[in-house]
Amino acid sequence: MSVTSPAPAKHYLMNAAVIVAALGYFVDIYDLVLFSIVRIPSLQDLGVTSQAMLLEQGVLLLNMQMAGMLLGGIGWGILGDKRGRLSVLFGSIFLYSIANILNGFVTDISTYAVLRFIAGVGLAGELGAGITLVSEVLPKEKRGYGTMVVATIGISGAILAGVIGEYFGWRTAYFIGGGLGMLLLFLRVGIYESGMFKNLKETHVTRGNFLSLFTNVRRFTKYLKCILIGVPIWYVVGILITFSPEFGQVLNVDGTVSAARAVSFCYLGLVFGDFASGYLSQQFRSRRNVVLAFMLLLAVIVGIYLISENISLNGFYILCVALGFASGYWAVFVTIAAEQFGTNIRATVTTTVPNFVRGAVVPLTLAFTVLKDGIGLVPGALVLAVVSVLVAVYAIATLEETYGKDLDYMEQL
């Protein structure tokens, strides 16, 4: 492992890179959760009427979006290490903004599915490139605060998506999301590349070698653990919240559960959870212990959610907030991934890890569908919860602590 010369650091927290990354993630999250919010009204408008088909077509379109994110994460990650973090920040937002604008014009399921895939490819690059850039321009003592700001501001984009999707119609919601993305492109002019990456470009070291993550047992194990840490978060978002109307019916909630409101309340909890986990990881000087504590809290809240029969509608939404809060270690999780690897492969890791986690929604929803048909909706969700949390707890407990780690080094690939 060789060390590069130190790059000059921005010693103030709210610099341009942090602000622009936060706003970019805001738009990214808006567009990312929008389908979960407008799933039912958009499919009904396109001619899908039965409950069974709404669930089946909803799973198909969600999986198309997540498959796009899985492939896009690899491509954008490699590009981020080869061409720079800023190239990803510009390219990804342009692609998903155009795709979402076109989503507002769809008239059939097939076109809808293709555009959700393209949007997924675009959405894949935003968070990883932003977190990588922020991690590299801030001093190690403030790094956690920077990623906390990015996640806290960014995740609140889901709240706006919930309001727009609920009251302005699904087509308008897609138009607004695409328009916000195009507007953000202008704000990114003048943002500078990280000093660590500039130093890296002057060397002849291999950059962005995605396959190198699989050719070394120690490196692969560390990479896999980084992915597994985040799976419970997207179990909550992709299963419990996305299909909250169906859970509401089975649990005999007193009222009709709105997916838009469930998403908004969940992400409201995520805003506070990400702020709390980021702040606590700085105060206790430990990423690992804070994430472990949040996972244990999440296990308790999921259990309460799945046994809460005959509760009021407001009570159900309070549980959605609680699920969001307990899932709010996303910023710390992505920061851990960025801190585990060297500069020459950091963008590849930090971009692919959250997208493999999001892509895990595909096997999760497929498994959920099989379990639901076999043992029922609630028991099936419970089985997935137990597996997801246990694997994640093992992963975080066996990863090294990265708080305060010097990131100015390269991996020998």
Q: Domain segments of the chain: what residues?
A: 16-397
The backbone torsions φ and ψ at residue 274, rounded to the nearest 5 degrees and listed phi first, read -65, -35
Question: Is residue 205's pLDDT more than 80?
Answer: no
Q: Above 80 in pLDDT, residue 198?
A: no
Write down the pLDDT at residue 190.
61
Q: Which tens digits make up the pLDDT trace of 334-380?
A: 889 988 988 888 888 988 998 888 878 778 888 988 998 889 899 99
| Percent of the chain whose pLDDT exceeds 90 | 34
pLDDT at 306: 94
Q: Is the pLDDT of residue 14 over 90?
A: no
| pLDDT computed for residue 8 by the predictor | 41
pLDDT at 413: 65
Q: Which residues of 257-281 are buried (b: 16+ CB within 10 A; e: fewer)?
A: bbbbbbbbbbbbbbbebbbbbbebb
Does residue 131 contact residue 278 with C-beta atoms inside 8 Å?
A: no
Taking Cα atoms as reference points, which of 116, 134, 122, 67 lies closest to residue 94?
122
For 277-312, the pLDDT digits (tens) are 999 998 998 999 999 999 999 999 999 999 999 999
Residue pointed to by tokens 């470009």: 201
| Residue 258 reports pLDDT greater than 80 | yes
What CATH number does domain 16-397 carry, 1.10.150.130, 1.20.1250.20, 3.30.70.260, 1.10.3720.10?
A: 1.20.1250.20
pLDDT at 380: 92
Could you give the CA distance from residue 16 to residue 193 in angstroms, rounded to a whole number?
11
pLDDT (tens digit per residue) in 16-69: 778 888 888 888 889 888 887 888 888 888 888 777 777 778 878 888 888 888
147 closest CA partner among 234, 11, 275: 275
Q: State the average pLDDT over residues 246-269.
A: 88
pLDDT value at residue 7: 41
**Cα-Cα-Cα-Cα dihedral of 257, 260, 262, 267, to 10°?**
180
Instruction: With cut-offs at 50, 70 and 90, classify the pLDDT of residue 1.
Output: very low
Query: Is the alpha carbon torsion for 22, 24, 25, 29 positive or negative?
Result: positive
Q: How far apart are the first and last CA of the chain?
A: 10
Residue 3's pLDDT is what?
A: 40
Please give the C-alpha separations between residue 50 and each of 38, 54, 57, 266, in angstroms, as whole numbers: 16, 6, 10, 26
The answer to whether the CB of 7 falls within 8 A of the CB of 194 is yes
Dihedral, CA of residue 336, residue 338, residue 339 and residue 342, to nearest 10 = 150
pLDDT value, residue 405: 83
**What does pLDDT average to over the chain?**
85
Q: What is the residue type of 7? A: A
How far is the C-alpha of 394 from the C-alpha of 392, rounded, in Å? Answer: 5
CB within 8 A of 406, min separation 6: which ones? 140
Model confidence, pTM = 0.82
Asked if 345 and 67 touch (Cβ cutoff 8 Å), the reply is: no
DSSP per residue, 352-399: HHHHHHHHTHHHHHHHHHHHHHHH-HHHHHHHHHHHHHHHHHHHHHTS
